[in-house]
Amino acid sequence: MRPYKKYRTYQWLRNRNQQRGKIIMVISVLLLLLFSSKLSIAQDSIPGKTLSADQVLEIVKKYHPVAMQADILVEKAKADVTIARGGFDPYIKNESAQKTFDGTDYYYYNRPELTIPTWFGVEISGGTEFLSGNRTDPVDTKGETNFAGISIPLAKNLLMDKRRAALQTAKIFREASAVEKRNILNNLLLDAVKTYWSWVLYYQQYKILSEAVMVNEQRVAFVKTAFRLGDRPAIDTTEAIAQLQNFELLKTKAWLDFQNTGLELSVFLWATNSTPYYLPTDVIPEESSPMPAIGEAILPELTSLLELAKKNHPELLIYDYKLDVLAVEKKLKFQELLPTINFSYNQLGRGYDLLKTTRAPLFENNFRYGLSLGIPLRLSEGRGEFRKAKLKIAETRLQFNQKQWEIETKVRSYFNELLALKTQVSLQEKAYKNYLALQRGEEIRFQSGESSLFLVNARETKTLEALQKLQELKASYFKAENTLKWAAGILGS
């Protein structure tokens, strides 16, 4: 070969190698910049409507039908108190009767009366009476009369009766309804917040895969260009396209999961007037959510959390109210063991001057009294009912102790889970950084011609899997954090 031709061949090879090196360098640098920026933990925000966990909780509290039913439960308990107070309402009645037969005026009778029940079981009454006729009972007083009286239970129903028991029970249920509302919200909000963090997770997965698809689209374009220039083999284009197609498939699945979880979240999102609300597809999780801040999160103290659960957990407070109701029932059943001794007294007077009658001396003139006494000889029903009331209290206390232990165990369990997840997140962040460093090293080796696109893709896949796993652990951490609050009974507070 002539020297000139050899020189041209050498020059051509040299220029080709330089061009090839420049192309590889450009490809590697661009891929490194694109991939590193897209897969960093602190990702750029995407413009659009956002929804935070706090907003979800507020919407559920205000508009969810179950939350509104809890409000109705409270109002019904208040109505029951009003109903129970009706047993102590003063009431007025009037008895009127007349009989005539064969021209004979047998009698005409009219008796208006006002009765005032009191909290202590005493009833005060007063009224007037008119009686006339030719066939009246000799024990009745003819003409215009008035009376003022009192009725007192001296044993049974003195300290407790059905009216007082009903009112006390209604008041206890009124207070318990507010606690029951807290318990309903505590359970409802847990389901809502878990669904929210699943929605956040699938959005993060979709975002990661979307960015990976964009990076791989750029990579395919660069590899095709290098192949046309003769710097890369045809198999590299197949390798790049296969990687892109795999990420596109995963991206499609992540989008489907994100949309379906959005529909699940819509179940908890209601508008005013009990109108269902479907979460629009352009709404995304709030980017300022504390997903990256788990490493600096301060966990609550387990001891204080357990004490808070013992004192304020709604399920435990409900048992306190149950015991209060059973204590009222026990007092009422105890009355069945006492004899029935009722005393009544009426001061009588002529005419309709009731005030003059009440100022007259008692047990001196114009009075009527009565005393009744009765008691079952064996008291079988009373003894059985009272014993049953005591057994109900013992049973409820055992249930309370069991529930308290269950709640304490749940708090400890979810606290341990939260602690473990915090450690796992920290380890996974380090693992992700290591995988990303390995990927960058492989890209540098690929740049210098010491590696292949297959190895770069393998490193990229591992990095993506590590980042996805990191997001899963973060979502699990926030679910566990809210589950811990639920176990302590403070999620709905």
- Residue 50, pLDDT > 50, answer yes
- Residue 47, pLDDT > 60, answer no
* Crossing angle for the helix pair 453-488 and 302-312, to the nearest 10 degrees: 40
The pLDDT assigned to 127 comes to 94
The pLDDT assigned to 360 comes to 82
pLDDT confidence band for 322 (50 / 70 / 90):
very high
- Residue 91, pLDDT > 80, answer yes
The pLDDT assigned to 11 comes to 46
Mean pLDDT of 445-454: 81
- Residue 427, pLDDT > 80, answer yes
Mean pLDDT of 359-370: 85
Span 148-201, pLDDT tens digits: 999 999 999 889 999 999 999 999 999 999 999 999 999 999 999 999 999 999
pLDDT confidence band for 374 (50 / 70 / 90):
very high
The domains of the chain are located at: 3-84+163-331+382-488, 86-159+339-378
CATH fold of 3-84+163-331+382-488 reads: Outer membrane efflux proteins (OEP) (1.20.1600)
pLDDT confidence band for 365 (50 / 70 / 90):
confident
Mean pLDDT of 258-263: 94
